[in-house]
């Protein structure tokens, strides 16, 4: 192999790697870089799911985990990264109920609830694309907002 041929192949390989790297980043990491920096600084011990959610178990649960189609009752507080509360249900006598895996809630919730055990309480950081994405939820949730929830799983019903 000549020196010139080796040089050309090296340049093409380098250019190929540079072009592919941004695409690979997007597949592995759901948070945009500027949001990821805030998330990693604020919650350095958060675990990451294979879909890009981050979570911290604040109180372990025991027993069953909800399956798709089952109805769950939860208490929650939803915040923006700034800490501003945009929604909450905190009354145990009137919990928020929905069917898991039936697109009744944002994708991040449908993905995290089956990982939780009854009685568990988690802090969950949801990337924009698994929350409200580019549309947001005006006026409370801006476009492309990462959301932070504290979720407590109270009940699972078939």
Which distant-in-sequence residues (6+ apart) come within 8 Å of 101 by Cβ? 67, 68, 69, 110, 114
d(CA 125, CA 56): 9
Q: Is 6 a catalytic residue?
A: no
| Per-position pLDDT tens, the chain of length 158 | 555 555 555 554 445 444 444 444 444 689 999 999 999 999 999 999 999 999 999 999 998 999 999 999 999 999 999 999 999 999 999 999 999 999 999 999 999 999 999 999 999 999 999 999 999 999 999 999 999 999 999 999 99
Q: How far apart are CA 12 and CA 5, in angstroms?
A: 11
Out of 112, 149, 151, 156, pick the active-site residue.
149
Q: Is 86 a catalytic residue?
A: yes
| Catalytic (active site) residue 55 | no
Q: pLDDT by residue (tens digit) across 81-122?
A: 999 999 999 999 999 999 999 999 999 999 999 999 999 999
* Residue 110 DSSP SS3: helix
CB 56 within 8 A of CB 46: yes
Concerning whether 76 is annotated as a catalytic residue, the answer is yes
Q: Active site includes 98?
A: no
Q: Is 149 a catalytic residue?
A: yes
| Assessment of whether the complete model's pTM goes beyond 0.85 | no
Q: Which residues pair with 157 in a beta bridge?
A: 71
The CATH code of domain 31-157 reads 3.10.50.40
């Amino acid at each position: 192999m000549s020196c010139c041929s080796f040089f050309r192949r090296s340049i093409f390989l380098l250019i190929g790697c540079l072009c592919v790297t941004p695409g690979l980043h997007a597949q592995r990491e759901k948070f945009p870089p500027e949001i990821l920096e805030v998330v990693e600084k604020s919650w350095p011990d958060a675990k990451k799911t294979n879909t890009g959610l981050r979570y911290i178990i604040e109180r372990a649960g025991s027993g069953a985990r909800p399956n798709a189609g089952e109805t769950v009752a939860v208490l929650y507080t939803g915040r923006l990264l700034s800490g501003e509360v945009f929604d909450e249900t905190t009354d145990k006598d009137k919990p928020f109920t929905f069917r898991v895996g039936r697109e009744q809630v944002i994708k991040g919730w449908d993905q995290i609830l089956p990982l939780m055990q009854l009685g568990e309480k988690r802090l969950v950081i949801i990337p924009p694309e698994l929350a409200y994405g580019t549309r947001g939820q005006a006026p409370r949730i801006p476009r492309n907002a990462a959301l932070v929830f504290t979720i407590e799983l109270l009940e699972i019903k078939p």
